[in-house]
């Protein structure tokens, strides 16, 4: 067996006491097994990502961070949760040294939620533990990440990227409400978790 | 070894280890800081300065000096002739050292708390950037010397295979040149002009994308000395021979080719890169796993030869027959366990959308501490134990102490990183100076964090032990030592195909892959209008400049 | 402690460092080091071949088990932890 | 380059390597740009052409919210653009001194206030003074006589007077970012003021005050607080919390003040401030 196997890629390699063919064959076999293992993983990633439209947040969109408050999408009157005609909701937020604005937003459960966040100054991060919501917030760009919450409750929202000396104090919150409670909220109640 | 070359290697190693110990002290203090336990000098600003210093020291200083020292030792021992360009090597040493001092002093003064990954538009004192530039730029002298020594030897020995260890360390140098290009360009064209006030705005996305060119390949630059030990030192320490020379060459080549066009997987969460390129680089990242998977097998096979020769029987009986009293053999086993666990974390990180589950949580910190701080560093220790008698002509003081040191490092690293993996999955962000453990969300992480602090102090004990062993050995009695020996393959190749004996082909492939993987992601910044004002962490903005 | 010194390394049964035995493969030592004194061949090629006469079976088993664990772990993380955390994009 | 030319049979690697690299790039590119990018969260499946654009990062679905926009409210007219910086930097302190003659009645000689409700201006960052004056002018901030005074000042006057006060010593210290580490500056600290100032209160979305107001930290548009009037600090915190003052860009202070209890506000004000009438030694009221 060992003598009849000749790998065309390994011709003219030196021969030794253990037939080089034998070594080459073992190596090739191991290489093939490893390649197929990685192949299986890649197939799983591609299939699930296609079926569930799973992607890392990758919306490339630029914005001027110095004039956010003067008007446009991220003016303070426009921040927070907004209901879209198709039933989904969009949450607009600013991350700044060292707060999320608003510091707490409310969204309905089992509803597509799209977070659109931008930074007013430096790099921040946005992470909702126990979900896959996680994006960097780079000044000059609008980060966009979508998900659907399947569980109600209060989600902590720490800044997960170093943004200078106050970084550890930068925590916000997202409260996921039952679907039927959400429409009753007025716009102010949607962007504040204080008891009304 | 020629005396001057011996000193060259020794000085490089000593800078690495002299910086290493205080960096471990900082690490241990940082762990205490972010835990629920009391901490001395609990100051959150000091924490961020400390993280910057810990990262700068470990990522740039320790690794670069260690690799440079190893390179010079390898030239002499593998090519069998003195280092050519010794003066240039010393100049490089001094430049790197000046850069190190400059960066360290600036961070200590609190004027550069921007972390070693720089994070524009945060802006540090220009001296920090100058220091980093001199350190990284100075190591390019080493890169040139490695390539020069290898090609000079090849010219003098036509048709001969370059010794595997020389091939591997030159591969490391070439990889470092490619890797460093990203950070050097970022420093030169983005950060330093801004810090000097030459430019008024900075593109954070451009800075981050450039840094990712460095960010993954630098990890393989750190890793390659460990792999060099796997292939060329471990088999002989175990008492056997290298299973396959070709496998080794292919492994080091694969690292050059596949560790470069994959850096975007570090910024899967960033908004400045399109999803297509993120997937492309995620896909390529899968191939950088291959050389490690090949090495695991090749290494096991080399050890199996040794174990069987030493009388090991049965399918796995050879494992027990290995000479475990040898620090190198012990280190490789501990290294492989940590490589496996850390590699597992890496598989999660690189899997496209799954990265979102753990991006920028303490999971990531755990991952790279296991890989670099664990699997790689423990091999640095073993290499140092192997090298010390050869470059000082003093025998190692105690192998038993060395074994203790390795075990402590292994246990400490696991105790540190396993809790970090757990808290990462719970959603604990990284690089945070202080947590409010009375918060019901943070509270359950408290016990895990406390366990990891214990590990941090085990690591500190191990680091102190390492320095003790090295110093006491060096102060010991002079004794002629055996020369450093590199493992011969079972089938030593008489000739090697040209492509496995040089890097021209592979550099061309890297160039093409880099253009394809990074051309557009970097080129887009020419037309994206995304420059923003910088935030200087050291002084007030323009408004009070005239004061 | 003194018996625990690094050197000389205890030679394993069947051989010692390079040059101590007649081994035809030693003449091709350049792939390890150009200088024979820096070449480690504690066993001759014949002994190594003997040790591997059934191929590196143990190494294959050991490496397969470790890599297999990685693979299974990855599958578990992907399907049990990642996907239930909800969609993202 | 010698290797590249040698496609002889004893070196199959160039063919293997180029072939493998090409195959990997083609497969990855086709999957990434032509297939996966077609699927989007909460949106229709894209055509291949749009998917490629999305893969590159060229997105077409950019636009404002589709629901009726609430009426626009802006906190200030000032934005920290280069033009604003240039205008502030052009401030003439000599001319500012003449303008400042109108201010000393309330804000004290050289801008060092002796009355609790009036802030000390000496040493305050010129950008801060400039912005507040403009906010008084535009009505985004209102307080007694200041609205009328703001309207009486031109942009140039504001820049000049800001430059003048910023250069006065004996009031607020300059924040340089330099600070020696000291104990008791983390969440472990028992003293509530010290804890809030140096570590904040993450549970209530309160970052550490010192990160922007010093000591040690600085942020554009943020006044240094050491040596400010206690009453003034506390009053402003209450005003931010209750929405009486809304001229902070991106709700910066309103968010934080809402997370503070009245006791917190008082503690922080006392920590930073100098009680009215206490003479300042050496110019700096450092703790």
Residue C85 contacts D, CB cutoff 8 Å: no
A162 to chain B, closest Cα gap in Å: 6
**B535-536 vs B486-487, strand pairing mode:** unpaired
Contact A45, B352 (CB under 8 A): yes
- Residue that has been written with the tokens 């969440």 in this structure: D187
Residue A158 contacts C, CB cutoff 8 Å: no
> At the fourth CATH level, which superfamily is domain D172-287?
Cytochrome c-like domain (1.10.760.10)
Q: Identify the CATH class of D77-171.
A: mainly alpha
Query: Mind listing the pLDDT tens digit of every residue in chain B (547 residues)?
Result: 778 889 999 999 999 999 999 999 999 999 999 999 999 999 998 999 999 999 999 999 999 999 999 999 999 999 999 999 999 999 999 999 999 999 999 999 888 889 999 999 999 999 999 999 999 999 999 999 999 999 999 999 998 999 999 999 999 999 999 999 999 999 999 999 999 989 889 999 999 999 999 999 999 999 999 999 999 999 989 998 998 898 899 999 999 999 999 999 999 999 999 999 999 999 999 999 999 999 999 999 999 999 999 988 888 999 999 999 999 999 999 999 999 999 999 999 999 999 999 999 999 999 999 999 999 999 999 999 999 998 888 999 899 999 999 999 999 999 999 999 999 999 999 999 999 999 999 999 999 999 999 999 999 999 999 999 999 999 988 887 788 899 998 888 888 899 999 999 999 999 999 999 999 999 999 988 889 988 887 764 444 443 3
> Is residue B546 in a domain?
no
Contact B315, C61 (CB under 8 A): yes
Rounded-to-integer distance, Cα A47 and Cα A56, Å: 15
**A112-119 vs A142-148, strand pairing mode:** antiparallel
> Is residue B542 in a domain?
no
Residues 6 or more apart whose Cβ sits within 8 Å of residue D62: A61
- List the domain range (segments joined by +) for residue B99: 3-536
**C39-40 vs B486-487, strand pairing mode:** parallel
Is D206 within 8 Å of A169 when comparing Cβ atoms?
A: yes
Is A145 within 8 Å of C28 when comparing Cβ atoms?
A: no
> Is residue B470 in a domain?
yes
Rounded-to-integer distance, Cα C43 and Cα B309, Å: 8
Q: Pick the residue with more confidence: B356 or C47?
A: B356
Residue A54 contacts C, CB cutoff 8 Å: yes
Rounded-to-integer distance, Cα B44 and Cα B48, Å: 7
Rounded-to-integer distance, Cα C83 and Cα C64, Å: 27
Is B486 within 8 Å of C57 when comparing Cβ atoms?
A: no
Mutation choice for A interface testing from C74, C80, C85 by most A CBs within 10 A: C85
Q: Which residues of B are catalytic?
A: 216, 220, 367-369, 430-431
Window 254-273 of D, Cβ < 8 Å to C? none
Rounded-to-integer distance, Cα B167 and Cα B503, Å: 9
Is B498 within 8 Å of D89 when comparing Cβ atoms?
A: no
Give the chain B residue whose CA is nearest to the CA of D205.
B436
Whether D77-171 and D172-287 share one fold: the answer is: yes
Subunits adjacent to chain B (3 or more Cβ pairs under 8 Å): A, C, D
Is B436 within 8 Å of D182 when comparing Cβ atoms?
A: no
- Closest CB from A53, A88, A165 relative to D216: A165
Cα radius of gyration (chain D): 28
- Closest CB from C28, C55, C87 relative to A53: C87
Tell me the CATH number at B179: 1.20.210.10
Contact B500, B249 (CB under 8 A): yes
Q: pTM value?
A: 0.92
Three-class SS of B289-306:
HHHHHHHHHHHHHHHHHH
| Domain boundaries defined on chain D | 22-55, 77-171, 172-287
Rounded-to-integer distance, Cα A42 and Cα D215, Å: 51
Is B276 within 8 Å of D33 when comparing Cβ atoms?
A: yes
Give the chain B residue whose CA is nearest to the CA of A120.
B532
Question: What total number of domains does chain B contain?
Answer: 1
Tell me the pLDDT tens digit for each residue of A36-57. 999 999 999 999 999 999 999 9
> Is residue B405 in a domain?
yes
């Amino acid at each position: 067996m060992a003598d009849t196997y000749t790998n065309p890629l390994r011709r003219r390699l030196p021969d030794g006491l253990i037939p080089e063919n034998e070594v080459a064959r073992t190596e090739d076999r191991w290489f093939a097994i490893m390649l197929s293992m990685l192949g299986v993983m890649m197939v799983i990633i591609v299939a699930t990502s296609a079926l569930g439209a799973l992607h890392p947040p990758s919306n490339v969109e630029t914005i001027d961070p110095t004039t956010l408050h003067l008007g446009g999408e991220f003016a303070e009157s426009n921040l927070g949760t907004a209901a879209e005609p198709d039933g989904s909701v969009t949450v607009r937020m600013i991350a700044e040294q060292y707060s999320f604005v608003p510091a707490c937003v409310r969204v309905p459960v089992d509803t597509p939620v799209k977070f659109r966040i931008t930074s007013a100054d430096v790099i921040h991060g946005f992470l909702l533990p126990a979900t896959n919501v996680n994006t960097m917030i780079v000044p000059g760009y609008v980060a966009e990440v979508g998900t659907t919450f399947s569980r109600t409750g209060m989600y902590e929202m720490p800044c997960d990227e170093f943004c200078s000396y106050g970084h550890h104090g930068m925590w916000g919150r997202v409260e996921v409400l039952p679907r039927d409670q959400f429409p009753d909220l007025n716009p102010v109640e949607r962007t504040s978790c204080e008891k009304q | 070894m020629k005396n001057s070359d011996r000193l060259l290697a020794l000085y490089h190693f000593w800078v690495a280890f002299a910086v290493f110990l205080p960096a471990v002290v900082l690490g241990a203090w940082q762990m205490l800081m972010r835990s629920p336990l009391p901490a001395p000098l609990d100051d959150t600003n000091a924490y961020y300065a400390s993280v910057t210093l810990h990262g700068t020291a470990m990522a740039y200083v320790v690794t670069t000096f260690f690799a440079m020292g190893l390179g010079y030792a390898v030239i002499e021992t593998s090519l069998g002739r003195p280092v050519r360009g010794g003066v240039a090597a010393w100049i490089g040493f001094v430049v790197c050292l000046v850069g190190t001092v400059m960066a360290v002093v600036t961070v200590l003064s609190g004027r550069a708390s921007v972390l070693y990954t720089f994070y524009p538009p945060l802006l540090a004192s220009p001296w920090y950037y100058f220091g980093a530039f001199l350190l990284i730029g100075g190591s390019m002298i080493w890169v040139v010397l490695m390539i020069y020594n290898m090609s000079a030897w090849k010219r003098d020995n036509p048709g001969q295979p370059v010794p595997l260890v020389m091939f591997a360390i030159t591969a490391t140098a070439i990889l470092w040149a490619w890797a460093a290009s990203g950070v050097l360009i970022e420093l030169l064209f983005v950060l330093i002009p801004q810090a000097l006030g030459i430019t008024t705005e900075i593109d954070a996305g451009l800075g981050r994308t450039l840094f990712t060119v460095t960010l993954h390949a630098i990890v393989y630059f750190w890793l390659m000395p460990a792999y060099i030990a796997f292939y060329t030192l471990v088999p002989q320490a175990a008492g056997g021979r290298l299973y396959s020379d070709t496998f080794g060459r292919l492994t080091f080549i694969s690292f050059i080719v596949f560790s470069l066009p994959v850096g975007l997987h570090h910024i899967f969460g960033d908004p400045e890169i399109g999803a297509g390129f993120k997937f492309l680089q995620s896909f390529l990242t899968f191939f950088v796993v291959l050389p490690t998977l090949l090495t695991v097998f090749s290494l096991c096979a080399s050890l199996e030869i040794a174990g069987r020769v030493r009388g090991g029987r049965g399918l796995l009986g050879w494992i027990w027959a290995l000479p475990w009293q040898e620090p190198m053999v012990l280190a490789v086993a501990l290294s492989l366990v940590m490589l496996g666990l850390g590699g597992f974390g890496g598989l999660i990180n690189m899997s496209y959308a799954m990265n979102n589950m753990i991006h920028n949580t303490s999971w990531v910190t755990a991952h790279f501490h296991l890989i670099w701080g664990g699997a790689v560093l423990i091999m640095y220790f073993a290499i140092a134990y192997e090298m010390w008698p050869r470059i000082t002509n003093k025998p190692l003081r105690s192998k038993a102490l060395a074994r203790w040191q390795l075990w402590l490092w292994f246990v400490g690293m696991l105790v540190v990183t396993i809790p970090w993996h757990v808290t990462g999955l719970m959603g604990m962000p990284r690089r945070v100076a202080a947590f409010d453990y009375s918060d019901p969300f943070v509270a359950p992480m408290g016990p895990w964090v406390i366990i990891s602090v214990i590990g941090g102090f085990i690591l500190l004990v191990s680091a102190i032990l390492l320095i003790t062993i090295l110093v006491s050995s060096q102060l010991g009695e002079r004794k002629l030592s055996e020369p450093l020996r590199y493992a011969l393959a079972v089938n030593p190749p008489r000739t090697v195909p040209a492509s496995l004996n040089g890097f021209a082909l592979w550099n061309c492939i890297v160039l093409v892959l880099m253009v394809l993987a990074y051309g557009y992601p970097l080129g887009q910044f020419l037309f994206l209008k995304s420059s923003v004002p910088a935030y200087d962490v050291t002084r007030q903005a323009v408004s009070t400049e005239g004061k | 402690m003194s018996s625990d010194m690094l050197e000389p390394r205890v030679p394993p049964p069947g051989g010692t460092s390079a040059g101590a035995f007649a081994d035809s493969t030693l003449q091709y030592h350049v792939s390890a080091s150009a200088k024979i004194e820096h070449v480690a061949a504690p066993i001759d090629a014949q002994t190594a071949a003997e040790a591997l006469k059934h191929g590196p079976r143990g190494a294959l088993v050991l490496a397969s088990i470790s890599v297999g664990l990685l693979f299974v772990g990855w599958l578990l993380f992907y399907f049990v932890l990642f996907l239930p955390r909800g969609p993202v994009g | 380059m010698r290797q590249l030319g040698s496609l002889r049979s004893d070196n199959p690697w160039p063919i293997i390597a180029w072939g493998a690299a090409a195959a990997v790039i083609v497969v990855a590119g086709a999957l990434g740009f032509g297939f996966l990018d077609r699927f989007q969260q909460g949106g229709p499946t894209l055509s291949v052409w749009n998917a490629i654009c999305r893969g590159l990062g060229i997105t077409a679905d950019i636009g404002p919210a589709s629901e009726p926009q609430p009426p626009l409210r802006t906190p200030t007219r000032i934005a920290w653009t280069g033009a604003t910086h240039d205008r502030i930097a052009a401030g003439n302190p000599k001319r500012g001194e003449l303008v400042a003659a109108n201010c000393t009645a309330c804000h004290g000689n050289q801008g060092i206030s002796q009355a609790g409700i009036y802030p000390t201006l000496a040493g305050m960052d010129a950008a801060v003074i400039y912005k507040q004056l403009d906010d008084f002018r535009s009505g985004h901030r209102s307080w007694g006589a200041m609205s009328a005074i703001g309207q009486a000042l031109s942009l140039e006057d504001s820049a000049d007077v800001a430059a003048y006060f910023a250069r006065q010593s004996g009031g607020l210290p300059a924040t340089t970012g330099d600070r020696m580490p000291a104990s008791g500056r983390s969440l472990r600290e028992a003293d509530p003021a010290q804890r809030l100032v140096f570590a904040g209160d993450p549970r209530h979305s309160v970052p550490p005050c010192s990160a922007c107001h010093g000591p040690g930290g600085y942020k554009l548009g943020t006044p240094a607080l050491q040596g400010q009037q206690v009453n003034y600090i506390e009053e402003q915190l209450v005003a931010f919390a209750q929405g009486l003052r809304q001229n902070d860009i991106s709700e910066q202070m309103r968010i934080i003040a809402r997370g503070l209890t009245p006791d917190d506000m008082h503690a922080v004000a006392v920590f930073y401030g100098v009680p009215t009438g206490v003479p300042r030694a050496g110019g700096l009221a450092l703790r």
